């Protein structure tokens, strides 16, 4: 019979074992959350995205291959693609497996050095079952950037293309591990690039297959270098964006959360009818955006005002007159003012002044209460169509057409809510839009990336516009 001291000692060891298992389990969940938050903060350009989208649109499967040291963001980026992932049977592999399962991956445990043949069969089965496959061909232990035969043999065996992928970030931490593992700095800018599909000929074997392996290895190294070059070359473009100020964003995140909750409750009250929209007896067209700042609303308002006037409509623009110092209702309309004088910008705001100056005969009513200014425009100027400038968030007035502009150079899906960022409300609010316009869309690569993200939230038609100068003016100097 054991004495009480030994019993207590055994219980203590058992409790310690349970505590360690609990802490290890908790640590794995914390790591997943931290990784998700980190990747969510990154701003990434995707190059050659059509390679993957064209395959997936046709139901085609593929083997996605990328270097082990660059896998962090690549795993995150493809989390909604229904991929199967090959992960080693090591302790580190167990941690990665949990994260990938959280992200929706089908995880296959094994590697070229442990469980390789079984893993190969499981991967082939996953491809036949409809999953594409993701693999790090130099993992799990290297050597660094040396491709093993597994990915090539799998692509050859199943007859699916091999898609090479690489990612790089301007600011990153390089670990002193065999793979020189890269951890992007929060809110860093980066590039993810795809190579063209590579088909492995079924007839290749022996030295010919080895030569093909080395050729693909060089292609992946070249793609990695190209991603780095794109990051370096894009520095001028990215410098045109406001600084992330990630410390400020983290500090303001709780305020942004409260702001988002408040906006969400307000929208819900309008959706269920507890807050009422006033409907005017004339058509109302709203032109707005999802972010604070310029997205190109004024040029579109100007264009629509001209177009509708040419079609015989009596148009009035309703504006809140951002930046004005006056109060109440201010009318900005050249023909109706005495001595043809327009109000000053401090009285009406600079954008209403610009609209009235450029569009001859256009009536612009400035008032923070657009319901009141709409009634004023109808009763005093006979307006039979109203353009609501910057009106997407102004839900007190019913609109018959909701046009929302999104700045292509500042992806809205990466923008935090106010005050941590510039976004005014949740992306799901885009469901209220009847038309979405991607402005400043001269960059084809950025346009494709942003369109694919926006289509996750909208069912409305999506258009692109490009801004070009109408004229160049040089002031005369004495």
Q: Which of 132-146, 153-167, 208-222, 385-399 has the lowest mean pLDDT?
A: 132-146
Helices within 129-205 (DSSP H only): 150-158
Question: 400: which DSSP letter?
Answer: S
H or E element at residue 437: strand 435-439
Ramachandran region, residue 115 (left: φ > 0; alpha: ψ -120 to 50; beta: rest): left
Residue 324 · residue 349 · CB < 8 Å = yes
H or E element at residue 279: none
25 — pLDDT class (breaks 50, 70, 90): low
Burial class (CB in 10 A: 0-12, 13-18, 19+), 83: buried
116 — pLDDT class (breaks 50, 70, 90): low
β-pair partners for 316: 363, 386
Tokens of 455: 């289509």
CATH architecture of residue range(s) 246-464:
3-Layer(aba) Sandwich (3.40)
> What is the average per-residue pLDDT within 20-42?
68
Of 194, 145, 198, the C-alpha closest to 167 is: 194
29 — pLDDT class (breaks 50, 70, 90): low
* Listed ranges 318-332, 338-352, 370-384; the one with the highest mean pLDDT: 370-384
Of 90, 147, 158, 82, the C-alpha closest to 120 is: 158
Ramachandran region, residue 306 (left: φ > 0; alpha: ψ -120 to 50; beta: rest): alpha
pLDDT score for 240:
39
Neighbour-count burial for 16-41, b at 16+ CB within 10 Å, e otherwise: eeeeeeeeeeeebeeebeebeebbeb
Of 299, 419, 301, the C-alpha closest to 364 is: 301
Has residue 18 got a pLDDT over 50? no
Tokens of 335: 């023909």
Residue listed under structure tokens 């999506």: 462
Please state, rounded to an integer, the average pLDDT across all residues of the chain.
Answer: 80
Question: 336: which DSSP letter?
Answer: G
How many angstroms separate the Cα of 331 from the Cα of each of 101, 304, 336, 372, 385?
60, 19, 9, 13, 17
Higher pLDDT, 411 or 341: 411
Is the omega angle on the peptide bond into residue 140 within 30 degrees of 0, that is, cis?
yes
pLDDT above 90: percentage of residues in the chain:
29
167 — pLDDT class (breaks 50, 70, 90): very high
266 — pLDDT class (breaks 50, 70, 90): very high
Q: How many CB atoms lie within 10 A of CB 314?
A: 17
Question: CA 70 to CA 167: how far, in whole Å?
Answer: 6
pLDDT score for 99:
79
> What is the average per-residue pLDDT within 19-41?
66
Q: Where are the domains of the chain?
A: 42-235, 246-464
> What is the average per-residue pLDDT within 97-104?
80
Question: CA 377 to CA 366: how far, in whole Å?
Answer: 10
Residue 44 · residue 115 · CB < 8 Å = no
pLDDT tens per residue, range 217-234: 999 999 999 998 888 775
Residue 304 · residue 387 · CB < 8 Å = yes
Higher pLDDT, 42 or 212: 212
pLDDT score for 396:
93
> What is the average per-residue pLDDT within 137-143?
83
What does the radius of gyration of the chain's CA atoms come to, in whole angstroms? 29
Neighbour-count burial for 344-368, b at 16+ CB within 10 Å, e otherwise: ebebbbebbbbbbeebeebbbbbbe
Residue 404 · residue 289 · CB < 8 Å = yes
């Amino acid at each position: 019979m054991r004495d009480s001291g030994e019993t207590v000692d055994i219980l203590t060891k058992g409790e310690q074992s349970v505590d360690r298992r609990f802490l290890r389990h908790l640590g794995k969940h914390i790591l997943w959350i931290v990784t998700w938050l980190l990747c969510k903060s990154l701003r990434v350009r995707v190059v050659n995205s059509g390679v993957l989208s064209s395959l997936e649109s046709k139901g085609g499967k593929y083997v996605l291959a990328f270097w082990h040291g660059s896998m962090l963001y690549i795993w995150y980026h493809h989390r909604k693609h229904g991929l199967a992932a090959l992960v080693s049977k090591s302790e580190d592999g167990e941690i990665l497996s949990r994260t990938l399962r959280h992200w929706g991956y089908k995880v296959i445990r094994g590697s070229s050095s442990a469980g390789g043949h079984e893993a190969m069969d499981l991967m082939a089965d996953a491809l036949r079952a409809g999953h594409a496959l993701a693999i790090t061909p130099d993992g799990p232990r290297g050597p660094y950037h040396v491709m093993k035969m597994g990915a090539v043999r799998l692509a050859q065996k199943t007859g699916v293309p091999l898609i090479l992928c690489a990612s790089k970030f301007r600011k990153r931490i390089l670990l002193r591990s065999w793979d020189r593992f890269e951890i992007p700095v929060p809110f860093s800018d980066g590039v993810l690039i795809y190579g063209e599909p590579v088909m492995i000929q079924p007839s290749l074997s022996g030295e010919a297959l080895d030569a093909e392996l080395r050729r693909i290895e060089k292609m992946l190294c070249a793609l990695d270098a190209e991603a780095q070059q794109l990051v370096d070359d894009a520095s001028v473009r990215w410098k045109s964006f406001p600084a992330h100020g990630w410390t400020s964003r983290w500090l303001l995140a709780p305020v942004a959360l409260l702001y988002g909750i408040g906006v969400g409750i307000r929208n819900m009250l309008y959706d269920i009818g507890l807050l009422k929209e006033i409907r005017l007896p004339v058509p109302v067209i709203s032109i707005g955006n999802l972010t604070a700042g310029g997205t190109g609303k004024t040029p579109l308002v100007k264009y629509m005002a001209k177009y509708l006037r040419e079609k015989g409509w009596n148009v009035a623009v309703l504006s809140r007159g951002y930046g004005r110092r006056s109060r109440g209702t201010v009318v900005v309309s050249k023909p109706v003012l005495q001595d043809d004088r327009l109000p000053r910008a401090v009285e009406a705001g600079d954008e209403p002044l610009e609209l009235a100056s450029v569009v001859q005969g256009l009536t612009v009513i400035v008032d923070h209460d657009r319901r009141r200014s709409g009634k004023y425009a109808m009763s005093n100027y006979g307006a039979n169509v109203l353009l609501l400038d910057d009106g997407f968030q102004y839900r007190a007035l019913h609109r018959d057409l909701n046009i929302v502009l999104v700045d292509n150079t500042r992806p809205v899906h990466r923008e935090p809510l106010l005050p941590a960022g510039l976004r005014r409300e949740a992306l799901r609010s885009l469901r209220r839009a009847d038309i979405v316009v991607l402005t400043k869309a001269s960059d084809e690569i950025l346009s494709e990336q942003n369109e694919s993200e926006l289509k996750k939230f909208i069912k409305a038609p999506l258009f692109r516009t490009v801004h070009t100068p109408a004229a160049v003016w040089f002031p005369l100097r004495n």
